[in-house]
Amino acid sequence: MIRKGQQMRVTRVLQAGVAVAAAVALLSACGGGGNSGNSGSGGDKKLTVGIKFDQPGLGLKTGSGYTGFDVDVATFVAKELGVDAKNINWVEAKSADRESLLKKGDVDLIAATYSITDKRKAEVDFVGPYLVTGQDLLVKAGNTDITGPEAVNGKKLCSVKGSTSADNVKTKFANQVQLQPFDGYSQCLGGLDSGTVDALTTDATILAGLATQHPGKYKLVGKVFSEEKYGIGLKKGDNRKADVAKAVEKFYSSGEWKKAVEKNLGADFKAGEPPALTEK
């Protein structure tokens, strides 16, 4: 599914119809940001969705809007729930904040490279998986000694607080590596640049997006050592879960899933068929 040395093309497509500034202004005027799935003023349904802001190809805030696979899946689901793209309030959902954002009702849905795990399922509900990837390593382009997870002994790795990537480093490499936790992957990348860390480790999808954003600067090691199944997070017991699952099935059957993979993740992402929904 993910190939060694992959370089993904990140197409910077302006998301048509995402009048973000207007939507945000409108939502704050209506006191949005709460569990805002129902009618706002004028009967327009609204939805607050948590995404990543710094992960090219998945969830990226740009000057003009929001792009990425997670943005596309959430936009499609919102539409099926009766919410227009212009009525989506996009908020940043950093890895460590996802459960609490859902529990507090600060967001309706989360589509933020959010791996379905048993630990998280105890706290929130998921629909998915809608994309499957695995944990990999990103190093500077000239690096020759970090050739795979077996070669991280004595190295400094960075990852992000509250991610499965950081947890995996702790369980798989125990005392062999020094782990530097950051709040987001862009900060982690800064550590790689300055030389305070030797490798950034997280999902191959995220690493490939970062590598594509800075051509020639970094490379993926290309040996995945976990399975990460992305799900859409909902508050536990949210009665929209079945509708969200129906929407994801339609995202698949309409061909939009494949289009979104090609547009955001590039030709090197060996997508194959969409994954079967086990959480629905």
Give me the residues that bind ligand GLU (CB under 6 A), please.
95, 112-115, 160, 163-165, 202-203, 206, 228
By CB atoms closer than 10 A (0-12, 13-18, 19+), residue 92 is middle
CA 247 to chain centre: 18
Cβ of residue 115: shortest distance to ligand GLU, in angstroms?
4
Cβ of residue 261: shortest distance to ligand GLU, in angstroms?
17
Specify the 3-state DSSP secondary structure of 246. Answer: helix
**Closer CB to ligand GLU, residue 129 or residue 274?**
129
Among all residues, whose Cβ is closest to ligand GLU?
163
**Closer CB to ligand GLU, residue 139 or residue 207?**
207
Cβ of residue 178: shortest distance to ligand GLU, in angstroms?
19
CB atoms within 10 A of CB 184: 18
Structure-block tokens of residue 245: 């699952």
By CB atoms closer than 10 A (0-12, 13-18, 19+), residue 205 is buried
**Closer CB to ligand GLU, residue 76 or residue 114?**
114
Cβ of residue 229: shortest distance to ligand GLU, in angstroms?
9
**Closer CB to ligand GLU, residue 182 or residue 257?**
182
Cβ of residue 230: shortest distance to ligand GLU, in angstroms?
7
Nearest 5°: the CA angle 241, 60, 71 is: 30
